[in-house]
């Protein structure tokens, strides 16, 4: 056990803090999805141009070659400075990128990794299907080998930034024989290919965060398969492991900041009788509990980083972080509705630092569903960590 | 003591339910606010004065019977300022303004809830309202309002409108001691929330029987089925307490106001938690605007701020010393 | 829907209130189990002698022949007057009695029912076994027919007042062929028969509320079978239905009173800074929430009574009451520990009206287990009320 | 930043765990308070001064390492005033009473927590204590105490003793600004609760694999397996936060006190909720005194009142204005 940062971690933190202090954009991220994507791309490109992109990515692919600890330091400092989150670049930076680093050919890495870091190409995910949600391995989007091409037919859903993405990490069924977990392949899909149709889906916060994607005889070069034909389940699991481990770190740190913003708001807001909300013991303790919870969440994430420093393969522990984090988000956002009081009716209500409290609250309903429902996370914890029998 | 509907009351429920399934079934897209014509029709159906005396166009029944109607209205998330209009008619009657009461009961006017704040009033669901109703700690105040002079804001529930600005002059004011507008409003809100809790339970329960994952209906997994069992328990608790509160108000029992607040707390919990669980049970589709599930969550959020908040309700039940 | 009591209900309430006002014993129920049982017997006999026993029992068996509503009125008034609860007579009055009324022979009824009402015989339950808890139908205590006797061998557990009881409602396996639900019989067992051994089990409140009962070739006359040989599962289900419907009403009303006692205690108790606990918004709202919850529980119970007035067979709705009630008890008892503060460490701490707050708290851990765990109640609600498929 | 034990620290954990499984395994029956001989032995094992300087008989390590030991002590519900004794040694050192500190560290004295109230002090687990420690809002006070002169009361945890009466004179007093006795105590209590949360998780998880109902191990039912998953999550959260808090106190970071309070809140939640869930998972046997499950619940109840209550901890994290 050790709290002390190394000299190089300290130096990295100071340098990051100094750079962020003068480079974080003044204007907040737009609410509308396309404008938000453009904003995310601009920020990521600025990071790349100034040498801050891909903190823990290998140097040979344009990253800084530092440790996961420094990656977390980056998230902490950039959230502290209220810098933009990865946003549209999330899948590229936290899903597809790490998977390519681990399993792709040198050619694929050379082509894609710098483009992800420079935000030249946005990536999206093509995993879930209407009938393959929790049961992801039940996916039916078919890819038939035709010469040196895969011909893809089917439908994906819950794809973020599909409209803006150049590439997709696409799971397709390349064999229907035997166990359903075999016969899946992980493919780099170009989103501009003929035969792809995209339909945005609006969520309850009235924004189009997701899309459905339809594939009609879409022809993808067979060399775009990563990790081997019919081996996509293992590739995808590694990928999910990355997500459940540290990819949510930035969002977690941001949540801590939101709690502090709420405490501020509770000091500034008065109730009908003119008393500041923070003077209400009940509201104050709810806020204190959230403050404790986001602090402990940070420790849990450090725990994951500590494990990864010993065994560099994400284990099922990430499911505990995700289970706790997503429920905590919902608790914080619900409390926010109490703190902003009558503002909770106003979809466009803005709080401290221009936060979209109401839309954040509405969007939080998805958190215990997307990326594996809370039920699925509990199944994973019970089965893979505790070794309980399957139901 | 009988908390379940008798034959007449079941017939009342049936009529309303059949009308709504025909004319205003719940939709995924938020419907437009009700037109004056629709409102008039609902007035003719007796929805705005079921508990008002027959001589003013009312139904001569009780608040308990109103709760049965409002359960149905809640079930399909019917739009418009229904609760405020019903209560406003009674405020007008209690204040002696029979003409206003009669026109409200007849469906000729909409009355919306208003909350005063530093920047004037916020009118909830008052797109077509001629009056607004504000229930304070001690009295209910009915004011005229000109919506055209107010500024519209987008509401978290897109089937509800929000307007901000200045109200017109006070039309009448009635002390809660005289007519307990707050309790009446709370019980009708509770009834709507009960209907919503029941509707979301039915949606989850039906979906759990047909949606399959891993080769089984998801209702065969306790993660889902036990969530549904909790939804059923909350809905039943809230339904029984709401009926009891309605009956208590009608009988003017000494504990009627406490019963009304308790109904609201139970129904708010059921409405809010069942809406969230229903979204969870539906998975991805549940949080999109392509399925009605989300509308129960946004509506519950509006109802939680229509009369009093949960904390304020708890403070009514055990006041600060 | 109707709130108005009938004239006879009103008259019953007034009479009960007047009688209770002068007849409730001054001394509180003892904590120790044997002394408590004696206290319960004395009270029940007094009720019988004064014509208050068996409110909703048929007149021909010594009851008052009134409705379930009057039974609830009795519970309300007697709790209001802080009269003793049924206690040791619970199984007789609320389980075995109603089962005998519904299904026993005239001879059995004539013999047992007046004795239950007069507290001449205490009854206990013999359902659960070490390997048949939630899966009650998996019970293995064997009864072999030998002439006109059953010879019983096996073991029961979680039997309250086994030491004090004269009779037991005993479930035994009389056939091991076919479905496990068939082949069970419901038998009136005399607890004083040779071959019965009783071992008290101490629970975490340090009291012996339960016993294990061992049967070594215990010979029971075959005419003691109620409802027919091998038909005991149906008899037991009816019995459980009674329990889950209204048998807990008295305990529910008592819980409401405990909440009021706690509110009183919070007004009287000060924290370290000298402030009354009730002035803390957080504690006050927790108490208010409990007050609302016990009120709503009462409505839920009235709902059950209303259903039973239409269809006089307890349905699965009782499982909702039980699920809600047992969790609420735990919530109230936990809150009590916060209100009594440092008293929570003292096993013998007495609060208002001599309540054993700490022992009640400790005992409440059993509530979501005994009488069907909360998981089982949810299974029943999901399966029998909602019609969801079995897991 | 590394929250997991290194090789030396794992060896430390192993030694303690092996000693305890040999000498003080958890039992269903509440064990008697530790004798002075046992206490001396534990002092020789270094449990009372692991973070104290070597020159006073301490281990020269940190509070972080102490948390590893206390997790093990918590896991088997080891009896005696362990936390108060460790903290008292540091209070004595901070006050300059090195002789007292040395004797405490050596296991020659037991020090118990005391709470002042209107009727004097309540001594928790002080059956063999020579001193008592009270941590107030601003200072930690060490007093001598003569247990023979106090009145014994039965404790909700029968393996813990309670005594009520008057303490002796103050021996030393140290401001929390100077040595943060409260944070140190909270982190050690947290560690014990983490060990308890882990032990109850292990008990539930093992039992769920072997206990069968309806022909399947109960762990195959999500009602049970998901409860176990929540137990695991709570235990991990609390363990990581407790390690972080221990390291923060050792490094005297500006947020160390907040980290300690947070550790206590997370660990208290895990200790209390896991104990209750473990009883639930065991069914009937879980709430009897024939299985150790109940002892984790009663011990958690005691630990929740040993230093500060949950509400008081929240008030430290966001003080009343």
User: What does the alpha-carbon distance between residue A131 and residue B69 come to, in Å, rounded to a whole number?
Assistant: 38
A296 contacts D5? CB cut-off 8 A: no
Q: Which domains does chain A have, with CATH numbers?
A: 7-85 (1.10.540.10), 124-230 (2.40.110.10), 245-385 (1.20.140.10)
Residue D169 near chain C (CB below 8 Å): no
C-alpha to C-alpha distances, C366 to A29, A89, C312, nearest whole angstrom: 53, 52, 30
Residue whose entry in the numeric block shows the structure tokens 């901890």 = D313
Q: How far apart are CA B24 and CA A143, in angstroms?
A: 44
**CB-CB neighbors (< 8 A) of A345 in chain B:** 122, 124, 155-157, 160, 162, 301-302, 305
CB atoms within 10 A of CB C150: 25
Quick count: other Cβ atoms within 10 Å of Cβ B207? 22
For chain B, what is the mean pLDDT? 97
- C370 — pLDDT class (breaks 50, 70, 90): very high
B305 with A344: Cβ contact below 8 A? yes
Residue B197's Cα: distance from chain center in Å? 12
d(CA B82, CA B94): 19
Query: CA D258 → CA A296, B70, C121, D87, D265, distances in Å?
Result: 11, 49, 61, 18, 11
Of chain B, the percentage scoring pLDDT greater than 90 comes to 98
What pLDDT score was predicted for residue C157?
96
D222 touches chain B (CB under 8 A): yes
Interatomic CA distance for residues A343 and A60, integer angstroms: 50
Q: Residue C247 pLDDT > 80, yes or no?
A: no
Q: Output the average pLDDT for chain A.
A: 93
What is the C-alpha R_g of chain A?
Answer: 21
Beta-carbon contacts of C296 under 8 Å, excluding residues fewer than 6 positions away, are B237, B238, B240, B241, B262, B263, B265, B266
Say whether A299 and D233 touch across the interface (CB within 8 A).
Answer: no
Question: Hey, what are A342's tokens?
Answer: 């009558």
Element (H, E) at C124: strand C123-126
The Cα of A103 is separated from the nearest Cα of chain C by a number of Å equal to 39
Judging by beta carbons within 10 Å of its beta carbon (0-12, 13-18, 19+), is residue C176 exposed, middle or buried? exposed
Residue C134 has pLDDT above 90, yes or no: no
Q: What are the φ and ψ backbone dihedral angles of C66, each rounded to 5 degrees?
A: -95, 180
pLDDT band at A308 (very low <50, low <70, confident <90, very high): confident
Q: Are A236 and A245 in contact (CB under 8 A)?
A: no
B4, C303: Cβ pair inside 8 Å?
A: yes
Task: Report the pLDDT value the prediction gives residue C314, as an integer from 0 to 100.
Answer: 79
Q: Which residues of D, range 275-294, sit inside 8 Å of C by Cβ?
A: 276, 279-280, 283-284, 286-290, 294
Return the higher-pLDDT residue of C71 and C143.
C143
The secondary structure of A214-237 as a DSSP string is EEEEEEEEGGGEES-TTBHHHHHH
**Candidates D218, D223, D230, D280, partner chain B, best to mutate (most B CBs within 10 A):** D223
Selecting among C129, C243, C268, C279, the annotated active-site residue is C243
CA-nearest residue to D236 within chain A is A300
Query: Hey, are the CB atoms on A3 and D6 less than 8 Å from each other?
Result: no
Contact C320 B216 (CB under 8 A): no
Q: How confident is the model at residue A324 (pLDDT cuts 50, 70, 90)?
A: very high
Model pLDDT, residue C327: 98
Tell how far CA C110 is from the center of its chain: 23
Mark yes or no for CB contact C133/D283 under 8 Å: yes
For residue C210, the model assigns a pLDDT of 94
Under the banding of pLDDT at 50, 70 and 90, the label for residue A239 is low
Closest-CA distance of chain A to residue D319, Å? 8
Please name the residue of chain D whose CA is at the shortest distance from the CA of residue B226: D223
Interior CA angle at C150 toward C147 and C155, to 5°?
155
The residues near B151 (Cβ < 8 Å, ≥ 6 apart) are B163, B164, B165
% of chain B at pLDDT higher than 70: 100
Q: Which DSSP string corresponds to C197-241?
A: EEEEE-BTTSS--EEEEEEEEEEEEGGGEES-TTBHHHHHHHHHH
Query: Which residues are within 8 A (CB) of D215 and not within 5 positions of it... i.e. 6 or more apart?
Result: none
Domain B1-320: which topology?
Butyryl-CoA Dehydrogenase, subunit A; domain 3 (1.20.140)
When CB atoms are compared, the residue of B6, B233, B261 closest to C324 is: B233
| Nearest Cα residue to B263 out of B308, B203, B320 | B308
Q: Tell me which chain B residues have a C-beta less than 8 angstroms from the C-beta of D223.
A: 222, 226
User: Please, which pLDDT band fits residue C55 given cuts at 50, 70 and 90?
Assistant: very high
Q: What residues have CB less than 8 Å from D125, skipping those under 6 apart?
A: D33, D79, D80, D81, D84, D112, D113, D160, D161
Cα(B126)–Cα(B106) distance, integer angstroms: 18
The count of residues in chain B is 321
- B to D CB pairs, distance under 8 Å: 9
Burial class (CB in 10 A: 0-12, 13-18, 19+), D250: buried
- Within 8 A of B63 by CB-CB distance, chain C residues are none
Confidence band, pLDDT 50/70/90 cuts, at residue A31: confident
Whether B287 and chain D come into contact, CB under 8 Å, resolves to no
| Percent of chain C topping pLDDT 90 | 79
Q: Is the pLDDT of residue C298 over 80?
A: yes
pLDDT at C236: 87
Q: Indicate whether A326 pLDDT > 70.
A: yes
D 187-226 residues inside an 8 A Cβ radius of A: 201, 205, 208-209, 216-217, 219-222, 224-226
The pLDDT of residue A352 is 74
Task: Locate the chain A residue with the closest alpha carbon to C282.
Answer: A282
Report the residue of B125, B126, B213, B220 to disrupt the A interface, i.e. the one with the largest count of A CBs within 10 Å: B213
State the DSSP string of C133-159. Answer: SSSGGG---EEEEETTEEEEEEEEEEE
pLDDT value of residue C243: 58
Find chain B residues with C-beta within 8 A of D226's C-beta: 222-223
CA–CA distance, C216 with D167 (Å, rounded to integer): 58
* Structure confidence at residue C313 as a pLDDT band (50, 70, 90): confident
Contact across the interface for A342 and B280, Cβ inside 8 Å: no
Q: Catalytic annotation on C243?
A: yes
Q: Which residues of C touch B252 (CB under 8 A)?
A: none
Within chain D, which residues score under 50 in pLDDT?
none
- Residue D280 sits at the chain B interface (C-beta within 8 Å): no
Measured CA to CA, the distance from residue A68 to residue D305 in angstroms comes to 39
Q: HSE on the CB side for B174, CA within 13 Å?
A: 20
Search chain C and give the residue with CA nearest A279: C281
Q: Which residue in chain C has the smallest CA separation from A391?
A: C391
At residue D110, φ and ψ (nearest 5 deg) are -105, 140
CA distance A1 to A193: 51
Residue C379 with chain B: CB contacts under 8 Å: 222, 225-226, 229
Mind telling me how many Å the CA of B270 is from chain A's nearest CA?
A: 16
Q: What is the least distance, in Å, from the CA of D146 to any CA of chain C?
A: 20
Per-residue burial over C39-63, b = 16 or more CB atoms within 10 Å of its CB, e = otherwise? bbbebbbbbbeeebbbbbbeeebbb
Q: What is the pLDDT of residues A78-99, one digit of tens each?
A: 999 999 999 999 999 988 999 9
- Section C334-362 average pLDDT: 91
pLDDT of residue C352: 73
Q: Where are the beta strands (DSSP E) in chain B?
A: 110-117, 120-124, 129-135, 139-144, 151-153, 162-165, 170-175, 212-213, 216-217
Residue bearing the bigger pLDDT, C354 or C126:
C126
**Is pLDDT of A227 > 60?**
yes
Contact present, D186 and D263 (Cβ < 8 Å): yes
Lowest mean pLDDT among C14-23, C304-313, D6-15: C304-313
Question: Does residue B43 surpass a pLDDT of 80?
Answer: yes
Question: Which chain D residues are Cβ-neighbours of C283 within 8 angstroms?
Answer: 311
Place A342 in a pLDDT band, splitting at 50, 70 and 90.
Answer: confident
Contact assignment for C378 to B239 by CB distance below 8 Å = no
Interface test with C, best of B227, B240, B255, B310 (most C CBs within 10 A): B240
Q: Contact at 8 Å (CB) between A125 and A169?
A: yes
Taking the whole predicted model, whether its pTM rises above 0.90 is answered as yes
Rounded Cα gap, residues D219 and A389, in angstroms? 6
- List b or e across B130-163, with b for residues whose CB sees 16 or more CB atoms inside 10 angstroms: bbbbbbeeebbbbbebebeebeebbbbbbbbbbb
- A244-280 per-position pLDDT tens digit: 566 778 888 899 999 999 999 999 999 888 899 999 9
Note the pLDDT tens digit of each residue in D36-84.
999 999 999 999 999 999 999 999 999 999 999 999 999 999 999 999 9
Which of B208, B226, B228 to mutate to probe the D interface, most D CBs <10 Å? B226
Size of the A and C interface in Cβ pairs below 8 Å: 11
Mean pLDDT of B184-199: 98
ipTM of the complex: 0.96
Higher pLDDT, A66 or D118: A66
Locate the chain A residue with the closest alpha carbon to B288: A203
Q: Are A365 and B287 in contact (CB under 8 A)?
A: yes
């Amino acid at each position: 056990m050790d709290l002390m940062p190394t000299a190089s971690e300290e130096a990295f933190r100071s340098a990051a803090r100094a750079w962020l202090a003068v480079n974080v954009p003044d204007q907040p991220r737009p609410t509308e999805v396309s404008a938000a994507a453009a904003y995310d791309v601009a920020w990521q490109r600025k990071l790349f141009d100034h040498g801050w992109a891909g903190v823990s990515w290998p140097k040979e692919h344009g990253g800084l070659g530092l440790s996961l600890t420094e990656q977390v330091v980056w998230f902490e400092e950039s959230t502290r400075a209220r810098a933009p989150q990865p946003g549209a670049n999330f899948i590229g930076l936290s899903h597809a990128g790490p998977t390519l680093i681990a399993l792709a050919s040198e050619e694929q890495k050379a082509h894609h990794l710098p483009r992800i870091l420079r935000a030249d190409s946005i990536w999206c995910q093509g995993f879930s299907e209407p009938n393959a949600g929790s049961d992801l391995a039940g996916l039916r989007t078919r890819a038939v080998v035709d010469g040196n091409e895969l011909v893809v037919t089917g439908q994906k859903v819950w794809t973020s930034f599909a409209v803006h993405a150049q590439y997709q990490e696409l799971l397709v069924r390349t064999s229907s024989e035997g166990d359903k977990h075999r016969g899946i392949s992980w493919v780099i899909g170009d989103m501009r290919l003929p035969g792809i149709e995209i339909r945005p889906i609006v969520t309850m916060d009235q924004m189009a965060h997701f899309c459905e994607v339809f594939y009609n005889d879409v022809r993808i070069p067979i060399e775009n398969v990563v990790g081997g034909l019919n081996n996509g389940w293992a590739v995808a699991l590694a990928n999910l492991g990355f997500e459940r481990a540290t990819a949510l770190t930035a969002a977690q740190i941001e949540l801590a900041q939101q709690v502090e913003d709420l405490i501020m708001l509770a000091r500034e807001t008065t109730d009908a009788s003119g008393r500041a909300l923070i003077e209400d013991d009940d509201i104050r303790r709810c806020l204190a509990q959230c403050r404790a919870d986001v602090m402990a969440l940070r420790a849990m994430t450090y725990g994951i980083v500590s494990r990864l420093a010993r065994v560099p393969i994400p284990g099922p522990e990430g499911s505990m972080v995700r289970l706790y984090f997503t429920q905590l988000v919902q608790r914080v956002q619900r409390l926010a509705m109490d703190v902003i009081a009558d503002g909770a009716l106003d979809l466009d209500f803005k709080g401290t630092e221009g936060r979209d409290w109401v839309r954040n609250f509405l969007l939080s309903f998805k958190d215990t569903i997307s990326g594996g429902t809370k039920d699925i996370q509990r199944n994973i914890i019970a089965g893979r960590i505790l070794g309980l029998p399957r139901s | 003591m009988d908390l379940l509907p008798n034959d007449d009351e079941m017939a009342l429920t049936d009529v309303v339910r059949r009308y709504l399934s025909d004319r205003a079934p719940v939709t995924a897209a938020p419907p437009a606010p009700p037109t004056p014509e629709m409102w008039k029709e609902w007035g003719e159906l007796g929805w705005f004065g079921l508990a008002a005396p027959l001589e003013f166009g009312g139904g001569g029944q009780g608040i308990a019977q109103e709760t049965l109607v409002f359960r149905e209205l809640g079930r399909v998330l019917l739009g418009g300022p229904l609760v405020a209009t019903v209560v406003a008619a009674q405020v007008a009657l209690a204040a002696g303004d029979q003409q206003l009461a009669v026109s409200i009961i007849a469906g000729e006017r909409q009355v919306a809830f208003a909350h005063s704040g530093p920047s004037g009033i916020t009118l909830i669901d008052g797109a077509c309202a001629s009056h607004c109703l504000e229930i304070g700690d001690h009295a209910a105040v009915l004011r005229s309002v000109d919506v055209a002079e107010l500024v519209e804001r987008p509401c978290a529930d897109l089937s509800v409108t929000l307007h901000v600005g200045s109200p017109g002059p006070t039309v009448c004011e009635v002390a809660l001691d005289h007519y307990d507008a707050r309790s009446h409003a709370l019980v009708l809100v509770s009834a709507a929330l009960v209907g919503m809790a029941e509707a979301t339970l039915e949606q989850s329960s039906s979906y759990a029987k047909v949606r399959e994952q891993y080769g089984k209906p998801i209702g065969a997994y306790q993660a889902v089925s036990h969530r549904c069992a909790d939804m059923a328990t909350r809905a039943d608790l809230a339904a029984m307490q709401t009926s009891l509160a309605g009956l208590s108000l009608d009988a003017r029992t000494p504990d009627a106001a406490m019963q009304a607040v308790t109904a609201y707390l139970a129904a708010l919990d059921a409405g809010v938690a069942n809406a969230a669980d229903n979204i969870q049970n539906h998975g991805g589709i549940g949080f999109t605007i392509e399925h009605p599930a989300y509308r129960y969550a946004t509506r519950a959020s509006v109802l939680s701020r229509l009369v009093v908040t949960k904390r304020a309700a708890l403070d009514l039940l055990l006041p600060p010393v």
